Amino acid sequence: MWNGWRKRCPNCGKGALLNGYLKVSDQCTQCGQDLHHHRADDGPAYLTILIVGHLMAPLLHIVFVAFRPHPLVLAGVFCVGCLALSLYLLPRLKGVIVAIQWSRRMHGFGGLHDGA
């Protein structure tokens, strides 16, 4: 899972897992591990929303009660915060989901063609 968080190949930990922002590479450039088997469709987005919501909602309440900022300032700061946190987490959580699928040999990982 740590290699997935780092956006590295779950097999060797050296090659890039993602080709672009969210596109998973078909194969690892270092060890040749097939990565096209993954089924990380909506899971990373769901987990990102879950984490960002659970972090930002209480923080929003705390800031509002403690400091009473102007509503536009509050909305602006938290919109930027939610966007930045979401953009940071989404590719990392996609890597984690692919790494979990690889470690559990799900969806074709660990077949005869993987060298496993």
Length of the chain counted residue by residue: 116
- What is the per-residue pLDDT for 116? 43
- Indicate the residue type of 36: H
**Res. 98: pLDDT tops 80:** yes
pTM of the model: 0.87
- Distance from C-alpha of 67 to C-alpha of 57, rounded to nearest angstrom: 15
Place of tokens 């040749």: 32
- What is the per-residue pLDDT for 106? 87
Please name every residue paired with 8 in a beta bridge, in sequence order, or none if there are none.
16
**Res. 61: pLDDT tops 60:** yes
CA pseudo-torsion sign 102, 103, 106, 110: positive
- Distance from C-alpha of 56 to C-alpha of 59, rounded to nearest angstrom: 5
